[in-house]
């Protein structure tokens, strides 16, 4: 054996193959293993919108990327250190992202004439040494090796061939000096009732691991030092999972039942899946007949005193618009979650984008301001779901929580909180003996009293027609409508007194301030960190609260000569900041359905610093 270890501070790996090749599972397993072994990491799953795109086709390629390392990892990485390509189409789609001298691991068995043709290769790229000139190539006939290993198994040939992904995973485990135990446990659990399949996969996994050890072709193993974390208890978590837990914690910690209603839509459906498993906490999940029933049933639940939540993606939020107006005028607490994806229309369902901010801000009829908060990374989805619930309930107001496909499906280590340390909410239930009128308001928050059906002597009617302030009776009075419109805006604005100030990362004043929001936090922070390493003077703020903005935002923006706002849209936060603070902020925009490259942001920062 000729094995030597080199230390790198971060490594980016991409598993790619046909959508039937199990790349998401493989990547997920590698991520969990990576987290348990104590690295920081960030992941980027990327799969076709078609559930089963034609096998071997270019648009049927599915991939899973992760970056892990000993330092804080903010993104899933830009250039690849390692590319696993399970078929010609995957090689064709992803090769350009592999670094020069990067490691290229290929399953040669899938390089059949038919697959080459589907991938639009005129000749087999494995037939010459062009690849070897640029990359370090490992050619393995994974499928045949696995078939041979499983010769005596009663599995069908198709089932045997399908475990080639576990071979690839085993090979990577060996490469990064990992233990296969976590995946063996996982497989035994997943295929509890299908022992044959579990055995087959475990054998394939081990074959890959031993293959790495045995074959001399692999000369270098990369070992990555463990990240330095603050002490505490950690777990690996995905954004949508964290979001569901945040809602659950908000409900459980404040003794208020959680009612969640939604219609299945990518990439938000997982929230429904997670919450449906928390029935033991009294969580009620309702798979509605359409997006509109999703939000309106939630509004019914809010009227009935629940923590009411609905989630969707942009197209579904568009359908919910009228009902968001109803929740606004009836001043009921509801959390509306938008896991953003590429648009317009059906757009890019499985890709990420930040292009629904202005929809959240303005996408309704009439003057209809809503509170907007945004999560910045997978684990932050927990905090912001908790915060969205708090604001909705304490202020009796609809809150829109923006996440996106990238952080929803991405995962990272999370130093999870202790439930008992989480903030308790001040709920607005009308108390026995209180003088009641449906639109009586709290002096500080302007929240109206919450009288819930079932409570005697508080019977009242609310609805979508304009309300008389105080009584809540229908009112067509001109001055009242003017007053109520201003009041609904004031209810939103006043919330800036109940949210934290934003913190500046880097110098508190200077030449350049980079402002971001939502899921781009990692890419921007990574670029800023690199810039600081190069002694560049640049600062960052990242907004979790967008409507209203934190109170101190206005002062901060005036302390910098220039403002740069990178967004995965055409400049939506940019237009809000420009109009609100009258500053000449500049945008940096990318609408490609994928996260920013932090190097690109760094280059843009440099350009702005030079001018």
Partner 1 sequence: MSNTEQLTKKDFTSDQDVRWCPGCGDYAILAQVQKVFPTLGIPKENMVVVSGIGCSSRFPYYMNTYGFHSIHGRAPAIASGIKLSNPDLSVWVVTGDGDAMSIGGNHFIHVLRRNIDMNILLFNNRIYGLTKGQYSPTSEIGKVTKSTPMGSLDYPFNPPALAFGASATFIARTIDRELKHMGSMVEESSKHIGTSFLEIYQNCNIFNDGAFSNLTDKAIKSDNVIVLEENMPMLFGKEKDEGLILEGTQFRVVTLGKDYSESDILIHNPEDRNLGLILSEMTYNEDLPVPIGIFYKENKPTYDFMMTDQINRAKNKAVDLQSIIEGPNPWNVK
State the minimum distance, in angstroms, from the CB of residue 102 to partner 1.
30
| Angstrom distance (rounded) from CA 267 to CA 46 | 12
State the minimum distance, in angstroms, from the CB of residue 28 to partner 1.
12
Q: Are strands 307-312 and 411-415 parallel, antiparallel or unpaired?
A: unpaired
Q: Is 454 in the site for partner 1 (CB under 8 A)?
A: yes
| Angstrom distance (rounded) from CA 275 to CA 307 | 13
| Angstrom distance (rounded) from CA 561 to CA 510 | 6
Q: Is 282 in the site for partner 1 (CB under 8 A)?
A: yes
Q: Is 70 in the site for partner 1 (CB under 8 A)?
A: no
Phi-psi region of 346 (alpha: psi -120 to 50; beta: other; left: phi over 0): alpha
Q: Is 421 in the site for partner 1 (CB under 8 A)?
A: no
- Which region among 34-42, 78-86, 122-130, 338-346 touches partner 1 (by CB under 8 A)? 34-42
C-beta of 253 vs 496, nearer to partner 1: 253
State the minimum distance, in angstroms, from the CB of residue 599 to partner 1.
29
Q: Is 41 in the site for partner 1 (CB under 8 A)?
A: no
Site for partner 1, residues 203 to 262, rule: CB under 8 A: 229-237, 245, 248-249, 252, 257, 259, 261
State the minimum distance, in angstroms, from the CB of residue 417 to partner 1.
8
| Angstrom distance (rounded) from CA 320 to CA 296 | 8
Choosing from 273, 279, 424, 482, the residue that interacts with partner 1 (CB under 8 A) is 279
Q: Is 322 in the site for partner 1 (CB under 8 A)?
A: yes
- Which region among 280-288, 441-449, 524-532, 593-601 touches partner 1 (by CB under 8 A)? 280-288
Choosing from 305, 363, 516, 548, the residue that interacts with partner 1 (CB under 8 A) is 305
Between the alpha carbon of residue 5 and those of residues 210, 223, 444, the distances in Å are 18, 6, 62
Written as one string, the DSSP assignment of 568-585 is: SSSSHHHHHHHHHH----
Q: Is 466 in the site for partner 1 (CB under 8 A)?
A: no
Bridge partners for 337 per DSSP: 311, 401
Q: Is 510 in the site for partner 1 (CB under 8 A)?
A: no
Q: Is 293 in the site for partner 1 (CB under 8 A)?
A: yes
Residues near 168 by beta carbon (within 8 Å), at least 6 away in sequence:
15, 26, 84, 86, 105, 107, 142, 208
* Chain-centre distance for alpha carbon 97: 22
C-beta of 345 vs 418, nearer to partner 1: 418
Q: Which residues bind partner 1 (CB under 8 A)?
A: 32, 35-36, 38, 182, 229-237, 245, 248-249, 252, 257, 259, 261, 278-282, 284, 286, 288-290, 292-293, 296-306, 308, 322-323, 325-326, 330, 416-419, 453-465, 473-474
């Amino acid at each position: 054996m000729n094995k030597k270890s080199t230390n790198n501070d971060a490594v980016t790996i991409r598993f790619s193959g046909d959508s039937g090749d199990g790349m998401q599972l493989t990547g997920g397993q590698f991520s969990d293993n990576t987290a348990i072994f104590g690295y920081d990491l960030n992941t980027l799953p990327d799969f076709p919108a078609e559930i089963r795109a034609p096998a071997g086709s270019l648009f049927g390629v599915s991939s899973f990327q992760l970056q892990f390392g000993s330092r804080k990892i903010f993104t899933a990485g830009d250039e690849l250190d390692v590319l696993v390509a399970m078929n010609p189409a995957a090689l064709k789609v992803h090769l350009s992202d592999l670094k020069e001298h990067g490691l290229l691991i290929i399953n040669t068995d899938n390089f059949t004439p038919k697959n080459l043709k589907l991938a639009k290769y005129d000749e087999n790229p494995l037939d010459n040494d062009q690849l070897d000139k640029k990359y370090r190539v490992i050619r393995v006939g994974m499928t045949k090796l696995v078939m041979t290993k499983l010769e005596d198994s009663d599995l069908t040939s198709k089932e045997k061939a399908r475990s080639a992904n576990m071979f690839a995973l085993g090979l990577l485990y060996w490469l990064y000096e990992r233990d296969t135990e976590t995946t063996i446990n996982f497989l035994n659990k997943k295929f509890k009732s299908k022992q044959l399949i579990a055995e087959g996969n475990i054998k394939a996994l081990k074959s890959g691991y031993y293959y790495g050890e045995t074959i001399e072709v692999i000369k270098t193993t990369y070992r990555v030092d463990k990240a330095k974390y603050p002490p505490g208890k950690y777990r690996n978590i995905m954004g949508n999972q964290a979001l569901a837990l945040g809602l659950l914690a908000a409900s459980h910690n404040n003794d208020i039942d959680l009612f969640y209603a939604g219609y299945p839509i990518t990439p938000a459906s997982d929230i429904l899946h997670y919450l449906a498993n928390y029935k033991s906490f009294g969580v009620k999940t309702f798979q509605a007949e359409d997006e509109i029933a999703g939000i309106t049933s939630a509004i019914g639940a809010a009227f009935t005193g629940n923590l009411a939540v609905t989630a969707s993606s942009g197209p579904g939020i568009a359908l919910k618009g009228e009902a968001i107006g109803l929740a606004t005028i009836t001043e009921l607490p509801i959390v509306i979650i938008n896991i953003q994806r590429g648009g317009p229309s059906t757009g890019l369902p499985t890709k990420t984008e930040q292009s629904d901010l202005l929809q959240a801000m303005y996408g309704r009829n009439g003057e209809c301001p809503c509170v907007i908060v945004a999560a910045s990374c997978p684990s932050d989805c927990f905090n912001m779901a908790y915060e969205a619930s708090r604001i909705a309930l304490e202020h009796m107001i609809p809150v829109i929580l923006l996440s996106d496909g990238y952080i929803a499906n991405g995962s990272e280590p999370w130093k999870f909180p202790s439930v008992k340390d989480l903030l308790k909410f001040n709920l607005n239930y009308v108390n026995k003996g209180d003088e009641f009128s449906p639109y009586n308001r709290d002096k500080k928050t302007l929240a109206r009293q919450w009288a819930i059906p079932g409570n005697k002597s508080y019977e009242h009617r609310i609805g979508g027609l304009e309300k008389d302030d105080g009584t809540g009776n229908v009112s067509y009075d001109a001055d009242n409508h003017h007053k109520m419109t201003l009041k609904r805006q004031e209810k939103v604005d006043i919330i800036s007194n109940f949210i934290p100030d934003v913190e500046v990362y880097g110098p508190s004043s200077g030449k350049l301030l980079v402002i971001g929001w939502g899921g781009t936090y990692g890419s921007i922070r990574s670029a800023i960190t690199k810039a600081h390493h190069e002694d560049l003077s640049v600062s960052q703020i990242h907004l979790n609260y967008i409507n209203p903005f934190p109170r101190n935002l206005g002062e901060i923006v005036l302390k910098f000569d220039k403002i740069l706002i990178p967004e995965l849209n055409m400049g939506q936060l940019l237009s809000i900041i420009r109009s609100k603070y009258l500053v000449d902020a500049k945008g940096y925009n990318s609408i490609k359905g994928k996260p920013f490259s932090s190097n690109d942001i760094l280059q843009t920062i440099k350009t702005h610093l030079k001018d």
